[in-house]
Chain A
Amino acid sequence: MSDLLHYEDFHEGQVIDLGQYHVSADEIIDYAREFDPQDFHLNEEAGKSSVLGGLAASGWQVCAILVRMLTDAYVGKSAAMGSKGMDEVKWLKPVYAGETLTGHMTLLKKRVSSKRPEMGILSCRWELFNTQGEKKADMVGVSFMRVRQP
């Protein structure tokens, strides 16, 4: 398991590219049917006439998409130990059907848990943009990462 990224492999100020994620109308509607069945997440016409201005993803789906992006980018190749929560999530602009998201993680701070020396705590900022560079979401939270040599 030593080929996995561990706490020691991350450093403060590090920026990790999160790749790209295409958000289709079908995916927005599928998620909305199951978890957020409001008209502007279900229907193009209703989206256009709403304050969102188009068929847009549920904000909670944007969070889920971020997790998929960061799992593919680095968490899935790491000795990750889950997360306790998020300090702040800002949904800055709607994510519309047909947009492609890009993003990056910036490591703000790292420390080893005082109670659990085998567990590192990474304070991270994750930012999502569309391909035109418009910022869509800004999230700050914590993820836990196993320490290779406690």
Chain B
Amino acid sequence: MMGLYLDEVEVGLAIELGSYTFTRENIIAFAQKYDPQYFHLDDEAAKRGPFGKLTASGWHTAAGWMKNFVAANHRAEAALRAAGREPVPVGPSPGFTNLVWHKPVCPGDTITYWTRVTGKRELATRPEWGMVFSISEGFNQNGELVYSFDGKVLSPRRPA
């Protein structure tokens, strides 16, 4: 990740990935496509729903993280190229654990996303790859934690 080999990714590294602003329009557009429940679609109906107001689909909050993670990787890769080095492509992810939507996300909220490297290891079965483990979080404009998950992503090892 971030254009680096597994060997170079430092445990403890924390990166502010960027922000995503949720609007009534983008909340409803996402929900119409993927999560058409009334509390993601309609202000009036949402008042009688579980959150008492229109809220973003949790998978929209998740998508906002990915958008910023990809952008942060692209920035890091561009910086390496500018320094005369070819960046290492980020590998695929086998999944994640412990995803929590801590608080609802509503129109007008701007979520700032972070990721922090919590560990890494080599893979016995695939010597050219390793796994990087991370905790990712999203905070709203009041500094409240709204979203978190434990991620993992494959990263290439430096060729011997």
Contact = CB atoms under 8 A, between A and B. Distances in A.
Interface of A: 31, 34-38, 51-52, 58-61, 63-65, 67-68, 71, 75-76, 80-92, 94, 141, 144
A59 B59 CA distance: 11
Contact of A71 (B36, B94, B99): B36
A90 B50 contact: no
Contacts of B100: 84-85
Interface stretch (B1-9, B60-68, B111-119, B136-144): B60-68
Contact of A87 (B90, B92, B94, B98): B98
Given A64-B63, A65-B34, A51 B92 contact: yes
A148 B86 CA distance: 60
Interface of B: 30, 33-37, 39, 49-51, 55, 57-59, 62-64, 66-67, 70, 90-101, 149
The 4 closest A-B pairs by CB, nearest first: A64-B34, A81-B50, A85-B100, A90-B95
Contacts of B63: 31, 34-36, 60-61, 64
Contacts, number: 91
A34 B55 CA distance: 20
Contact of A37 (B39, B70, B90): B70
A71 B33 CA distance: 11
Give the interface centre of B58, B64, B67 by most chain A CB atoms within 10 Å.
B58
Given A37-B70, A38-B70, A82-B51, A67 B98 contact: no
Nearest to A139: B95
Given A36-B63, A64-B59, A68-B36, 20 more contacts: A34-B63, A35-B63, A38-B90, A51-B91, A52-B92, A58-B66, A61-B63, A65-B34, A67-B34, A71-B35, A76-B37, A80-B37, A82-B51, A84-B100, A85-B58, A85-B100, A87-B97, A87-B98, A91-B94, A144-B50
